[in-house]
Amino acid sequence: MRITTGFGLVRTSAWAGILGLMLLLIGLPARASGELPSPEGRVILTITGNIQHTNRGSDARFDLAMLEQLPQQEFTTDTPWTDGEHHFRGVALSGLLEHVGAEGKTVRLVALNDYHHDIDMQLVKRTPFLLVTHLDGQTMKIRDKGPIWLMLPLSDNNRYNTKRFHEMLVWQLKSLDIQ
C-alpha cells in the first residue's frame, strides 16, 4: 500500500504547540482555541456531535478549500463500483476527526440520500479511511459519488475488500456525527 502524506499529522500537544508557534511567527492569524476558520465556498461536509473545534454554533463546516488545506493522502486502488484502478486523494478520516477534537465511541457517516453507517471510533483510529475529494486528479462531483467518498486501499489489503468494509464506504457523504 502506498499512502503519501503532505505534511504529516500533528498527533501530540507538543507538536500542536510548535505548529502554533510557527504559524504565529510566519504571520498567519491566530484563532481562539476551539474556533475553526469559516468556509468561504459551498459547504460540502458538516461535522456535528461531540467535537471541540467548531465554526458555526456547535458544528464544524468545511468547504473544499478547507479540506484541501489539511494534510492530503492518496492511493491507487480497484473498487467494486468502478472499472479498473483509480487514484484517490483526500484527507484521512482519523486526521480530520483529530483536527476537530472529536471524542466519542462512534462516527455516523450520512450521505446526501440520508443513507448512513456507524463506524466504531477505535476502528477509525486503526484503519486508513480516506475522505476522498479527488478522483484521478479531478474534484469529485455528485454524479461521480462526490463531493466526498469514504474509501480504503482495497487492492492492497484483502481484509478491507469485504462486504463488511464495503458497507462503510459511503459515497456522496454530507456529514459526520460524533456520538
The label of the residue with cell 454524479 reads: 143
The three cell numbers of residue 75 are 492511493
Domains of the chain: 33-178 (3.90.420.10)
Contact (CB, 8 A) for 173 and 149: yes
The three cell numbers of residue 133 are 475529494
Closest CA to 130 of 168, 84, 82, 85: 168
pLDDT tens string, the chain, 179 residues long: the values are 444 444 444 333 444 444 443 443 333 343 444 689 999 999 999 999 999 999 999 999 999 999 999 999 999 999 999 999 999 999 999 999 999 999 999 999 999 999 999 999 999 999 999 999 999 999 999 999 999 999 999 999 999 999 999 999 999 999 999 99
Measure the CA–CA gap between 135 and 86, rounded to whole angstroms. 7
pLDDT for the residue numbered 14: 46
The upper half-sphere exposure of residue 114, i.e. CA atoms within 13 Å in the direction of its Cβ, equals 0
DSSP secondary structure string for all residues of 88-129: EEEEEHHHHHHHTT--SSEEEEEETT--EEEEEHHHHHHS--
